[in-house]
Amino acid sequence: MAKEQLEVLNALDLAKTQWYHFTAIIIAGMGFFTDAYDLFCISLVTKLLGRVYYHVDGAAKPGTLPPNVAAAVNGVALCGTLAGQLFFGWLGDKLGRKRVYGLTLMLMFFCSIASALSFGHDAKAVMSTLCFFRFWLGFGIGGDYPLSATIMSEYANKKTRGAFIAAVFAMQGFGILGGGIFAIIMASIFQASYGSPPYQVDPVGSTVPQADYLWRIILMVGALPAALTFYWRLKMPETARYTALVAKDAKQAASDMSKVLQVDIEAEPQIFEKEGTGFGLFSKEIIRRHGLHLLGTTSTWFLLDIAFYSQNLFQKDIFTAIGWIPPAKTMNAIEEVFRIARAQTLIALCSTVPGYWFTVAFIDTMGRFTIQIMGFFFMTVFMFALAFPYNHWTHKDNRIGFVVMYSLTFFFANFGPNATTFIVPAEIFPARLRSTCHGISAATGKLGAIVGAFGFLYLAQNQDPAKTDAGYPPGIGVKNSLIVLGVINFFGILFTFLVPEAKGKSLEEISGENGDENETVTE
């Protein structure tokens, strides 16, 4: 027979949406705004870094980062994020969500500033410094994933919990948008102040010395939203679910939530688990009760991120095809930053941000399962629609259709598995392992991101060695890579069937913590 739910948790589940819920969304969401700004702003400045530090006298084209340096600069933050998700996810269950929450933000603040500084002036010193601090920046960002998701799920009521967690994650879209807008503004200011001729007119003069400050300012500003949120994170009380179910202090949980929700919640007796009823991450019990769920959340996030991050493969083709980014030699260094930032901003505005907020609007009516299946299905359809007639899309007259397909793939990633893979792990696991399991799921996703961003960068190279990008070996080509990505999305549909629907249920009901298998005794 199921045990009765604690009054404080029942009060949370049934609480009306009030100002504190929106405060929590803003506090957690600003972390994700910072995460997205810091992770994606590097793509705005990599071309500039190549021009500043890898210029070759007499070359027909501007300097570019060598493949190994480009992989390190772009990928080191993803590696740090993976490590941070595992470490802080585990720490959030050991020490509590609140005690660890401020630490991740401090790490992001200091490393955002430090990544814009450098020990030395030559290319090797600057890139080494950048990579070192971006790894630790990623480490802090990684911690934000399990902690923000878990905190929001444990504060929310069961009726609108999906929308609240999705709203936190949707701040990523604004972070990408904010990075693009800030880069546009700074590039415009630098262009007006330090105008220079295009590379084909004056190869050396096209990159003014002040351009070295531009990329540093863009990276450094990522520290601001982290600093603005830090005080409010420290003021947040520990979540009632951690205090009551993990720390076993129902009285303190009731006291904390009474202040937060501005309602009187009756303090309940201390809770103790019967000996042997608790189970750890590597126990047979967790495998029996949640093993398939964990397989479902890790596999779907892994497959999604391969497809999602590899979309950068043909982003440059699209931007060039529709004239958003002209050939590099026809621009100076600062104008190139402006053009890239404008392109990223338009994509974010037209498909990324709307996709996130469609999820916020519909997740508690349609459900997580339906949105995830729908997203993977349409991503599969559009990948195949891009892949099989790929030669058709490369003709100039058909490029607008290619852009539309590309935008729809992004839209259904965000109104689909990119949001739901973040939400579901924060709901379906027991409180004592919720942050850990979310961290494992997220880290598996980042492993997929690394495969997508870099494995496919090599895989998508032209099959003709004479047509590959400088420094890259031949691959299977963009068309075949897109077919592989379509198959990956199809497998995402299949693995979604391992994940339970959490719509309208309390966290304890979903995770089985109300069941008699986790029987408790009171003091």
pLDDT of residue 506: 85
pLDDT digits (tens, 9 = 90+) for 342-380: 988 988 888 888 999 999 999 999 999 999 999 999 999
pLDDT digits (tens, 9 = 90+) for 116-150: 998 888 899 999 999 999 999 999 999 999 999 99
Contact 431, 242 (CB under 8 A): yes
Say how far apart CA 220 and CA 117 lie, in whole Å: 9
Instruction: Compute the average pLDDT of residues 93-106.
Output: 89
pLDDT of residue 2: 38
* Residue found by looking up tokens 């047509």 in the block: 467
Per-residue exposure over 129-161, b if at least 16 CB sit within 10 Å of its own CB, e if not: bbbbbbbbbbbbbbbbbbbbbbbbbbbbbbebb
Q: Which of 325, 30, 61, 340 shows the shortest CA–CA distance to 214? A: 340
The SS3 assignment for 272 reads strand
Write out the two tokens for 330: 């026809």
Burial class (CB within 10 angstroms; exposed 0-12, middle 13-18, buried 19+) of 60 = exposed
pLDDT of residue 20: 80
Higher-pLDDT residue of 474 and 206 is: 206
* Whether pLDDT at 187 is above 90: yes
Return the top range by mean pLDDT from 72-76, 214-218, 273-277, 465-469.
Answer: 214-218
DSSP state at residue 429: S
Q: Which of 435, 363, 367, 439 shows the shortest CA–CA distance to 151? A: 435
* Whether pLDDT at 272 is above 80: no
* Whether pLDDT at 86 is above 90: yes
pLDDT of residue 501: 92
Contact 336, 328 (CB under 8 A): yes
* Whether pLDDT at 517 is above 60: no
pTM given for the model: 0.88
Higher-pLDDT residue of 505 and 491 is: 491
Q: Give residue 191's identity as a one-letter amino acid code.
A: Q
Question: All domains of the chain, ordered by start, with CATH?
Answer: 18-264+287-510 (1.20.1250.20)
pLDDT of residue 482: 85
* Whether pLDDT at 236 is above 90: no
